[in-house]
């Protein structure tokens, strides 16, 4: 009797379905940084949300760690064409930071130590689509990958997932960030191959 393994076939097909156009899967975890790796101590770390009226809400490391934590398993996609399946992160959903923030803004600019910025529509940060993560695969996030904490927005190309995150500025106008202002797509949806301005 011939026997098939429907489990294997099913999983293989679903991985193909999970690969956005123009991407290839990788098992490794490449490091892509536009400059040197900042070293940020957790006792000096703060995450600051600034509203369009200039009000600030700030979380120390301990306060952030005291917020409801989520474990999330995500596929991530870099515009340089590698994708990595089933990456495991732990952190706090952006919804938690923003729930008590009064704003009429629809945009945000995320700021990092070292000067990197990236812009996002607020709707791409809310409803369980984005996290401030501090752990990867069960360990504290390494400095190379953005530790002590980075933004994770897995449904967009990974340049939106700012490493060494320090704050988020809510804006009424959309302001392009570091890569967006030199030709990367403003939104960066990997499923629509939004790599550069013309896409
Ligand atoms: N602060 C900061 N965040 C950043 C970057 C950067 O240069 N500086 N590079 C971005 C880009 S282009 C990518 S692909 C991912 C890479 O994350 P990784 O190095 O953990 O793979 O981080 C993004 N976040
Ligand atoms: Mo990237």
Query: Which residue ranges make up each domain of the chain?
Result: 19-25+41-192
Coil, strand, or helix at residue 127? coil
Out of 75, 81, 159, 196, mutate this one to test ligand 1's pocket (max ligand atoms within 8 Å of CB): namely 159
The residue behind tokens 């790599």 is: 195
73 membership: H or E segment, kind and range: strand 70-77
For ligand 1, the distance from its centroid to the CA atom of residue 183, given in whole angstroms, is 16
pLDDT tens, position by position, 67-96:
999 999 999 999 999 999 999 999 999 999
Distance between CA atoms of 116 and 178, rounded to whole angstroms? Answer: 6
Given a cut of 80, is residue 10 above it in pLDDT? no
Percentage of the chain exceeding pLDDT 70? 93
Structural contact between residues 25 and 19, judged by C-beta atoms closer than 8 angstroms: yes
Confidence of residue 14 (pLDDT cuts 50, 70, 90): confident
Q: Whose CA is nearest to atom 10 of ligand 1?
A: 159
Please tell me the distance from the alpha carbon of residue 10 to that of residue 185, in angstroms, as a whole number. 34
Write out pLDDT tens, residues 47-64.
Answer: 999 999 999 999 999 999
Confidence of residue 1 (pLDDT cuts 50, 70, 90): very low
Residue nearest to atom 21 of ligand 1 (CA): 31
Q: Which ligand is nearest to the CA of 32?
A: 1
Average pLDDT for 144-161: 98
Average pLDDT over residues 121-138: 98
121, exposed or middle or buried, with CB in 10 Å at 0-12, 13-18, 19+? middle
Task: Assess whether pLDDT exceeds 50 at residue 2.
Answer: no
Q: Report pLDDT for 12.
A: 53
Q: Is 73 in the pocket of ligand 1 (CB under 6 A)?
A: no
What integer best gives the mean pLDDT of the chain?
Answer: 94
- pLDDT at residue 5 greater than cutoff 60: no
Q: Is 19-25+41-192 assigned to CATH 3.40.640.10?
A: no
Q: By C-alpha distance, which of 34, 30, 154 is closest to 91?
A: 154
Nearest CA to ligand 1 atom 16: 32
| Atom in ligand 1 nearest the alpha carbon of residue 164 | 1
CA distance linking residue 88 with residue 77, whole number of Å? 14
Please indicate whether residue 145, judged by its CB atom, sits closer than 6 Å to ligand 1.
yes
**Spatial distance between the Cα atoms of 176 and 186, rounded to a whole number of angstroms:** 7
Cβ(143) – ligand 1 distance below 6 Å: no
């Amino acid at each position: 009797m011939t026997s098939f393994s429907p489990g294997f076939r099913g999983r293989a097909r679903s991985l193909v379905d999970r690969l956005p156009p123009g991407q290839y899967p990788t098992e490794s975890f490449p490091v892509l940084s536009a400059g040197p790796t900042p070293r940020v101590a957790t006792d000096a770390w703060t995450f600051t949300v600034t509203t369009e009226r200039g009000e600030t809400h700030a979380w120390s490391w301990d306060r952030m760690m005291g917020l409801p934590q989520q474990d999330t398993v995500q596929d991530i996609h870099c515009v340089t064409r590698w994708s990595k399946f089933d990456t495991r992160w732990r952190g706090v959903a952006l919804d938690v930071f923003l729930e008590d923030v009064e704003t009429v803004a629809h945009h945000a600019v995320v700021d990092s130590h070292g000067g990197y910025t990236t812009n996002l529509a607020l709707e791409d940060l809310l409803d369980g689509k984005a996290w401030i993560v501090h752990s990867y695969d069960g360990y504290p996030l390494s400095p190379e990958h953005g530790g002590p904490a980075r933004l994770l927005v897995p449904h967009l190309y990974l340049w939106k997932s700012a490493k060494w995150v320090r704050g988020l500025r809510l804006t009424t106008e959309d302001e392009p960030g570091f890569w967006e202002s030199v030709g990367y797509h403003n939104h960066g949806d990997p499923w629509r191959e939004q790599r550069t301005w013309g896409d």
